[in-house]
């Protein structure tokens, strides 16, 4: 279920101008895209982008201490979080560079999902991939092939979200082979009983997609907990369309 922390973190993502302060306590400078600039006025580097995304996911309750992974594509290389890293406390040493194609000496150090990330980059034009473990989305995925939002924000971002069923869900060849075609059509996929993969042009886009997914699934779960009929909720959705 949602929490005040999730509300606060989501507001920070969707409204970056609200209350962000520099160490001195004065509002920090941002570029035209709303990104914080460092003291020299330049945009954040990859390490800061990874650190920020990982921290927001952890603080928002979308990952536990050591779950989830992040990556960015840079030409024919991928920058990905290290195996066993804590997304809430990422440092530059937690980032590993691996090739999109072929073997690399650092593949064993990269996240257990590294080959899933590589398969998505080989098959799509996405430049960033975010993997998290949103609880409400995972729970709803257990008995469904699709997650269909019934709240206004969810319907704004998603028509529906595919659920991928796999015998082996964590870093498996099966997920590696099946998920690229889904992420080529949808911004996010939920692997049943495991977690969600969101792809896009930036890590921030992926984080926002994961939060919007979980927000929508949490609202749907609350409706069911209040005794509302799933059939009626989905029927109302179809009538709106």
Delineate the domains of the chain, giving CATH numbers in brackets: 4-240 (3.40.225.10)
- H-run or E-run covering 69: strand 69-74
State residue 239's pLDDT score.
Answer: 52
pLDDT value of residue 241: 55
Within 8 A by CB and 6+ apart from 164, the residues are 175, 178, 179, 182, 189, 190, 191, 192
Measured CA to CA, the distance from residue 240 to residue 58 in angstroms comes to 35
DSSP string, 108-162: TTB-TTHHHHHHHHHHS---EEEEE--HHHHHHHTT-SEE---SHHHHHH-S-EE
Predicted local distance difference test score (pLDDT) of residue 228: 94
pLDDT recorded at residue 237: 67
pLDDT given at position 67: 95
- One digit per residue, the tens of pLDDT, for the chain of length 241 reads 444 444 444 444 444 444 333 333 444 444 443 444 444 457 889 999 999 999 999 999 999 999 999 999 999 999 999 999 999 999 999 999 999 998 877 888 899 999 999 999 999 999 999 999 999 999 999 999 999 999 999 999 999 999 999 999 998 999 999 999 999 999 999 999 999 999 999 999 999 999 999 999 999 999 999 999 998 998 866 655 5
Residue 127: per-residue pLDDT:
98
Give residue 238's pLDDT: 63
Question: Exposed, middle or buried, 125 (CB in 10 Å: 0-12/13-18/19+)?
Answer: exposed
> What is the pLDDT at residue 34?
41
* pLDDT value, residue 24: 36
Q: What is the pTM of this model?
A: 0.80
């Amino acid at each position: 279920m949602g929490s005040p922390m999730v509300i606060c973190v989501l507001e920070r993502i969707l409204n970056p101008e609200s209350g962000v302060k520099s160490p001195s306590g004065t509002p920090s400078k941002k570029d035209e895209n709303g990104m914080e600039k460092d003291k020299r006025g330049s945009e954040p580097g990859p390490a800061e982008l990874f650190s920020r995304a990982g921290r927001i996911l952890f603080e928002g309750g979308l990952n536990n201490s050591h779950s989830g992974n992040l990556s960015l594509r840079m030409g024919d290389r991928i920058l990905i979080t290290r195996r066993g890293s804590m997304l809430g406390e990422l440092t530059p040493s937690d980032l590993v560079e691996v090739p999109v194609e072929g073997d690399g000496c650092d593949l064993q150090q990269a996240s257990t999902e590294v080959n899933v990330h590589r398969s998505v980059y080989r098959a799509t034009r996405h430049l960033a991939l975010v993997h998290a473990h949103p609880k409400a989305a995972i729970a709803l995925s257990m008995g469904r092939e699709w997650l269909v939002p019934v709240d206004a924000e969810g319907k704004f971002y998603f028509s529906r979200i595919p659920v991928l069923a796999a015998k082996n869900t964590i870093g498996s060849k099966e997920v590696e082979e099946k998920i690229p075609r889904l992420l080529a059509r949808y911004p996010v996929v939920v692997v049943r009983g495991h977690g969600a993969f969101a792809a896009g042009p930036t890590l921030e886009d992926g984080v926002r997609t994961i939060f919007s997914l979980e927000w929508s699934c949490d609202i749907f779960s609350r409706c069911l907990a209040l005794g509302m009929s799933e059939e009626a909720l989905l029927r109302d959705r179809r009538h709106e369309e």
